[in-house]
A and B are shown apart, each in its own frame.
Chain A
Amino acid sequence: MSYEIIGITVLWIFLYGYLIVASVDFGAGFFAYYAKVTKKDHIMNQLISRYLSPVWEVTNVFFVFFFVGIVGFFPDSAYYYGTALLVPGSIAIILLAIRGSFYAFENYGSKKSNVYMFLYGATGLLIPASLSIALTLSEGGFILEENGVVSLDYLALFTSPYSWSVVVLAVVSVLFISAAFLTFYAARANDQAALKLVRKYALFWATPTIIAALTTFIALGQHNERHYQNMFDLWWMFGLSVGFFIIAMWLIYEGKRFGLAFISVMLQFFFAFFGYGASHLPYILDPYVTIYENATHEATGIALIVVFILGLFLLIPSLILLMRLFLFDADYVKGKK
Chain B
Amino acid sequence: MTELDPVLMSRLLTALTLVFHVIFATLGVGVPLMISIAEFIGIKKNDPHYLMMARRWTRGFVIPVAIGVVTGTAIGLQLSLLWPEFMQVAGNVISLPLFMEVFAFFFEAIFLGIYLYTWDRFKKPMMHWWLSLPIIIGGGLSAVFITSVNAFMNTPEGFTTGAGGFATVNPLDAMFNPATPTKVFHVLASAYLTVAAILAAIAAFSMLRKKHTEYHKKALKLTITLTFIFSILTAIAGDVSAKFLAEHQPEKLAAAEWHFETEEGADLVLFGWLGDENTPAGALRFPGLLSFLAYGDFQSEVTGLEEFPEDERPPLWIHYMFDLMVVIGFFLLGVSLLYILAWKIKRWNEHNKWMLWLLVVSGPLAMLAIEFGWIFAEEGRQPWILRGYMLVEDAATTSPYVGWMFLLFLGLYTVLGVLGVAVLRKLFKNNPAEEELEKKYPTIEKGDNK
Query: Which A residues have a C-beta under 8 Å from some C-beta of B?
Result: 53-55, 57-58, 60-61, 63-65, 67-69, 71-76, 78-83, 85-87, 89-94, 96-97, 100-101, 103-105, 108-110, 149-150, 296-300, 303-304, 307-308, 311, 314-315, 318-319, 321-322, 325-326, 337
User: Distance (Å) between the CB of B232 and the closest chain A CB?
Assistant: 33
Chain A residues positioned under 8 Å from B78 (CB to CB): 90, 93
Closest to A65 in B: B102
Neighbour of B99 across the interface among A55, A104, A110, A307, CB < 8 A: A307
Of the listed residues B90, B91, B109, B419, the one surrounded by the most CB atoms of chain A closer than 10 A to its CB is B91
Supposing A87-B401, A96-B70 touch, asked if A71 and B110 sit within 8 A by C-beta, the answer is no
Inter-chain contact A296/B405, CB cutoff 8 Å: no
Chain B nearest CB from A85 CB (Å) reads 6
B113 touches A58 (CB 8 A): yes
Given A67-B77, A97-B70, A100-B66, A75-B91 contact (CB < 8 Å): yes
CA A96 to CA B80, docked complex, whole Å: 17
B105, A64: Cβ atoms closer than 8 Å? yes
Query: Are the CB atoms of A78 and B80 closer together than 8 Å?
Result: yes
Task: Please state if A300 and B96 are interface contacts (CB–CB under 8 Å).
Answer: yes
Are A303 and B171 closer than 8 Å at their CB atoms? yes
User: Would A93 and B74 count as touching, CB distance under 8 A?
Assistant: yes
CB-defined contacts of A87 to chain B, threshold 8 Å: 399, 401, 404-405
Structural contact, A58 and B109, CB atoms closer than 8 A: yes
Q: Which residues of A contact B341 (CB under 8 A)?
A: none
Digit string of B82-95 for contact with A (CB within 8 Å is 1, else 0)?
Answer: 11110111111101
Which B residues are in CB contact (< 8 Å) with A79? 84-85, 87-88
B338 interfacial contact with A, CB 8 Å: no
Contact A54 B113 (CB under 8 A): yes
Main secondary structure of the interface of A (DSSP, over half): helix
Could you say which residues of chain B place their CB within 8 Å of the CB of A89?
77, 80-81
Contact A75 B89 (CB under 8 A): yes
Query: Which of B162-170, B313-321, B376-384 touches A?
Result: B162-170
Q: Which of B77, B399, B427 has the most CB of A within 10 A?
A: B77
A sample of 30 inter-chain contacts (CB < 8 A) reads: A57-B113, A58-B113, A63-B73, A69-B99, A71-B91, A72-B96, A72-B99, A73-B95, A74-B91, A75-B87, A75-B95, A82-B84, A83-B398, A86-B397, A86-B401, A87-B399, A90-B81, A93-B78, A94-B409, A97-B71, A97-B73, A97-B74, A101-B70, A101-B420, A297-B93, A297-B166, A300-B91, A307-B99, A315-B107, A318-B107
List, in ascending order, chain A residues with CB within 8 A of B90's CB.
71, 75
B106 engages A71 (CB within 8 Å): no
Q: Is B117 in contact with chain A by the CB < 8 A criterion?
A: yes
